[in-house]
Amino acid sequence: MFSQEDVGAKKRNRQRKKIDVKMDSKGKHALVIIDAQLDFMPGGALAVQEGDQIVPFINALQADFQTIIATQDWHPENHGSFAANHDGKSPGEWIELEGLQQVLWPVHCVQGSPGADFHPELDRSRWMRIFQKGQNPGVDSYSGFFDNNQVVDTGLHAYLQSLGVTELTCVGLAADYCVKFTVLDALRLGYQVHVPAAGTRAVNLQEGDFERALAEMQQAGATIQ
């Protein structure tokens, strides 16, 4: 007869095997919540129209995921993407920032400021990690994986790999900037990527940017739901 310990060990082994098989055929599916911060919500410094409407949708969606990760736009006050840091320049104008074309933004998501906080109604109870980006004043960082010159890595890819994640659902703000560039990098890195349209809204500097962003992500291989 088996002792209690033997039975327990056998059961654990069986469970472990099952997980291994699943990991071999297809890895885990993670939810990535991008920049769901107050400065991107109505009333914020870089407000996205209806940005707050994604919050209940994301809260409900979290119930389907065990692996939930967030990104946070996190700029120093002297960030080069802020129009206020360039004499005579206004938000929406373009400059060259350390060799890259950069559209200028209002001051937003300054490290430690209230606007850099997540929406208070967003359920954060099961988030595993928050990856911050945009700390380098000389280069913007729309993607949650790399800054805009594709040099500095936030560590998100290594972290997802360490968890065995191969598939991502991406939601958050804004559809035409940080969501789009995170999704495009994720596809290049080999993830399967899904974007539920109800989980994102666009800045829409130009009319139609939301639709164009969704089309670009789809063309690159993402599933738009």
196: helix, coil or strand?
coil
To the query of whether residue 22 is one of the catalytic residues in this protein, the response is: no
User: Cα–Cα distance between 183 and 204 in angstroms, integer?
Assistant: 18
Report the residue number, 30 or 48, with the smaller CB distance to ligand VGL.
48
- In the complex, minimum distance from the CB of residue 174 to ligand VGL, in angstroms, rounded to a whole number: 4
DSSP state for residue 50 in the 8-state scheme: T
- In the complex, minimum distance from the CB of residue 14 to ligand VGL, in angstroms, rounded to a whole number: 44
To the query of whether residue 35 is one of the catalytic residues in this protein, the response is: yes
Q: Is 191 in the site for ligand VGL (CB under 6 A)?
A: no
- In the complex, minimum distance from the CB of residue 144 to ligand VGL, in angstroms, rounded to a whole number: 9
Among the listed residues 52, 170, 178, 180, the single catalytic one is: 178
Q: Is 178 in the site for ligand VGL (CB under 6 A)?
A: yes
CB 105 within 8 A of CB 46: yes
Q: Is 105 in the site for ligand VGL (CB under 6 A)?
A: yes
Amino acid at 54: I
Q: H or E element: which one contains 69?
A: strand 67-73
- In the complex, minimum distance from the CB of residue 21 to ligand VGL, in angstroms, rounded to a whole number: 38
CB 144 within 8 A of CB 71: yes
How many other C-beta atoms lie within 10 A of the C-beta of residue 83? 18
Helices then strands (H, E): number in the chain? 5, 9
Report the residue number, 106 or 221, with the smaller CB distance to ligand VGL.
106
Q: Which of residues 160-199 bind Zn ion (CB under 5 A)?
A: none
Amino acid at 61: L
Which of the residues are catalytic? 35, 133, 178
Q: Which residues bind ligand VGL (CB under 6 A)?
A: 35, 40, 73, 105, 142, 173-174, 177-178
